[in-house]
Amino acid sequence: MRENKSYFGKFGGQFIPETAMFAVEELEKAANEILNTKEFTDEFEYLLKEYVGRPTPLYHAKNLSSHYGHEIYLKREDLNHTGAHKINNALGQTLLAKKMGKKKVIAETGAGQHGVATATAAALLGLECDVYMGEVDAKRQELNKFRMKLLGANVVEITDGLKTLKEATTAAIQAWVNEIESVFYVIGSVVGPHPYPKIIKHFQSIIGKETKSQLNEKNIKADYIIACVGGGSNALGIFSEFIDDESVNLIGVEAGGLGIDTKYHAATISKGRPGILHGMKTIVLQDDYGRILPVHSISAGLDYPGIGPEHAHLSEIKRVLYKAVTDDDAINALKLLTLKEGIIPAIESSHALAYLEKLCPTLDKKSTIVVNVSGRGDKDMDTVMNYKKGTIYG
């Protein structure tokens, strides 16, 4: 029997080849020994403050608040160095890799955001870095590919299958197994085999810790916290400090693509079933044979057919509500925030913002709502500019 500590309810576990067992055991041992030492936490906190630019503000969006008739606060993860929450985790894992004596980190990437964050951390901490990226993604995201190379990383383009994130992840896992003694695999979201989901939540929980103390400082109480969900790391990061407080409603927003009743979405919890993907038991989008379905979202960061196992559990016990919004909804929300507040959010984050449109009219009393703005939209300007001009939808 596997020990329960690797599970969240019935989700999680370590569904990996025997050859990778050594690496996850080594990682778990190192995490237990290193992560909570004063030396590690002091160094990590120093980097978060002086390098990443934390704490990020909890900003009262007054114009958006009067638009919706509720008090809306934005957790500004878009203001982090490199433009999103991903650096919190990439820096944490790369620092852990260094303490473990590893010489090289590897990472998978879709749009290139996690690849850039990992390449950044590797440059800072002096480690080698290989980033696995599907050939199609590498073409779509040439600028990020260049950015990673400029940061000194080696970008490995994958030509299997659909040549996107799922294949890149599979290739990264293979590369990790091949060089397991010297390489540390930096996973980009709260996914993968135990102990990854716990380690990544640990690094991202800074978002929730800051939010909680910022709410206390402002002497306000959140009724709702909303975050977008790809693999689920920014959401779990902000939710983590509030899960035990049942008076705070937590909402995860998935990518509904062209609509969850079409074939073109990435709404894993809304439409998926239990299955196994990338070393974990979780909810996955699959066909009747258990084959992973292709996914679609306008936001590359949400375009994933699985979800972190803890989210699968939080959904099952109904502690977090998971909803989906469409590409259209997200683009409209991006435009609204930009016009009202002068903040251009990432299209991923715009999914969380878009849910305000659905939630606010249903509330019978004035409520306080925190939205996690997981990243900035600069990377998405091409997509927004060309939206529905025929370049995205063929």
Ligand X SMILES: *Cc1c(COP(=O)(O)O)cnc(C)c1O
User: Catalytic positions, please?
Assistant: 86, 108, 374
Per CB under 6 A, the list member of 192, 257, 301, 309 interacting with ligand X is 301
Residue 297 touches ligand X, criterion: CB under 6 A: no
In the complex, the smallest distance separating the C-beta of residue 90 from ligand X, rounded to whole angstroms, is 11
User: CB–CB of 269/254 below 8 Å?
Assistant: yes
In the complex, the smallest distance separating the C-beta of residue 296 from ligand X, rounded to whole angstroms, is 15
Restricted to residues 22-61, the positions that interact with ligand X (CB under 6 A) are none
Give CA–CA dist 33/96, Å, rounded: 11
Query: Which of 13/192 has CB closer to ligand X?
Result: 192
Restricted to residues 124-163, the positions that interact with ligand X (CB under 6 A) are none
Query: Which of 332/367 has CB closer to ligand X?
Result: 332
In the complex, the smallest distance separating the C-beta of residue 314 from ligand X, rounded to whole angstroms, is 13
User: Residue 205: enclosing H or E segment and its boundaries?
Assistant: helix 196-217
Stretch that binds ligand X, among 155-163, 178-186, 276-284, 342-350 (CB under 6 A): 342-350
- Which residues have C-beta within 8 Å of that of residue 114, sequence separation ≥ 6? 86, 90, 107, 108, 186, 188, 189
Per CB under 6 A, the list member of 54, 76, 86, 323 interacting with ligand X is 86
Distance set, CA 186 to CA 44, 98, 132, 266 (Å): 16, 12, 11, 23
Residue 327 touches ligand X, criterion: CB under 6 A: no
Residue 306 touches ligand X, criterion: CB under 6 A: no
In the complex, the smallest distance separating the C-beta of residue 94 from ligand X, rounded to whole angstroms, is 17
Give CA–CA dist 116/119, Å, rounded: 5
User: Residue 201: enclosing H or E segment and its boundaries?
Assistant: helix 196-217
The order of strands in the sheet holding 11-12 is 7-8, 11-12, 280-284, 273-277
User: CB–CB of 168/132 below 8 Å?
Assistant: yes
Residue 374 touches ligand X, criterion: CB under 6 A: yes
Query: Which of 200/336 has CB closer to ligand X?
Result: 200
In the complex, the smallest distance separating the C-beta of residue 231 from ligand X, rounded to whole angstroms, is 4
Distance set, CA 293 to CA 164, 218, 236 (Å): 13, 45, 24
Residue 279 touches ligand X, criterion: CB under 6 A: no
Fill in the DSSP letter of residue 53: -
User: Residue 233: enclosing H or E segment and its boundaries?
Assistant: helix 233-239
Residue 348 touches ligand X, criterion: CB under 6 A: yes
Restricted to residues 207-266, the positions that interact with ligand X (CB under 6 A) are 228-235
Per CB under 6 A, the list member of 30, 52, 84, 122 interacting with ligand X is 84
Residue 197 touches ligand X, criterion: CB under 6 A: no
Give CA–CA dist 18/230, Å, rounded: 28
The footprint of ligand X (CB under 6 A) covers: 84, 86, 113, 189, 228-235, 301-302, 346, 348-349, 374-375
